[in-house]
Structure 1
Amino acid sequence: MADPVYDSPEPIISGLRCRCPRCGEGKLFRGFLKLAPACDQCGLSYAFADPADGPAFFVMSGVGIVVIAIFAWVEIAYRPPIWVPFVTVFPALIGACLGTLRPVKAWLVASQYIHKAEEGRFESVGRHDRDPRRL
């Protein structure tokens, strides 16, 4: 019996929906950020997925730049009292980071699947100062 053929969705689509990168239907997460062991629809094992700290870095960088740029503009244009940043900027940073972390992680996992990303391997046939094809 042949393996079923899947029409994999774009990585950004399956990432925003937090769904399986192969079938686009199964759940990707078991908890808030914990990946499920496998897709509950197509059975794809998520053992290949290792986004590491990439999602956190991208989210903190992107959200930080946007929120701080808006804060700086408001600070220069309106000069609000000192308590305003505490009740607006910090909740905005925390809320935006928590709100975007899960889809960004799902997008990176889907990108790893689509592009068949894997750990780099070092392959050397000989010494580095000699080309083994010339021997």
Structure 2
Amino acid sequence: MTRSLLTGLKRGLKHRCPNCGEGRLFTSYLKVRGTCEACGHENGRYPADDAPPYFTILIVGHLFIAPVLLFPFIWTASPFLVVGTVVPALAVVTLTLLPFVKGAVVGAHWATGTVKPLQ
């Protein structure tokens, strides 16, 4: 069975089982469902570990923080005002993006066949 990386990424970004695309991938915010409710595929065996936070920080840093540094507001306003407005906004963006990135990482692991080693 050939597994497409693009299919795994798309299904993961939608928070769906990478195998069937029907079942939910998460039981809560970032907890991967052990087995798919639709097809019975074992999704808990795909190791996400530190990749989702790393990629999320990389995305937020390049797409949000770098452009924000171009606004004169950052350099001329009071540091308390800047921190009070920019940090909460970045926290919301980061926490919103994290489950999508984790789903994509699980989908990529499904496509490449990377599984946790037996312990």
2-structure distance, mates of 1:96, 1:83: 20
Bigger Cα displacement from structure 2, 81-90 vs 100-109: 81-90
Separation in 2, partners of 1:17, 1:11: 10
The Cα RMSD (Å) is 2.5
Aligned identity (percent) is 30
Q: Distance in 2 between matches of 1:51 and 1:57?
A: 11
Alignment counterpart, residue 92 of structure 1, candidates 89, 94, 107:
89
Structure 1 range deviating more: 89-98 or 9-18:
9-18
Structure 1 unmatched ranges of 5 or more: 121-135
Correspondence 1:63 to 2:63? no
How many residue pairs align between the two structures? Answer: 115
Structure-1-length-normalised TM-score: 0.73
**Letter of the aligned partner of 2:95 in structure 1?**
L
The aligned runs of 1:49-128 (5 Å cut-off) are: 49-75=46-72, 79-118=76-115
Larger radius of gyration: 1
Q: 2:7 aligns with which of 4, 7, 10?
A: 10
Per the alignment, do residues 61 and 32 of structure 1 end up closer, same or farther by CA in structure 2, a change over 3 Å counting? same
Measured against aligned partners, the alpha-carbon deviations of 1:78-125 in whole angstroms (never above 9, x if no partner) come to 7333333223210121011101100110111011111112468xxxxx
- Amino acid in the other structure paired with 1:53: D
CA displacement at 1:71 relative to structure 2: 2.4
Distance in 2, matches of 1:88 and 1:65, equals 19
Does 1:44 pair with 2:5?
Answer: no
**Greater fraction of residues in helix:** 2
Instruction: Tell me the secondary structure at the aligned position of residue 73 of structure 1.
Output: coil
Alignment match, 2:17 = 20
Cα distance in 2 for partners of 1:12, 1:103 equals 10
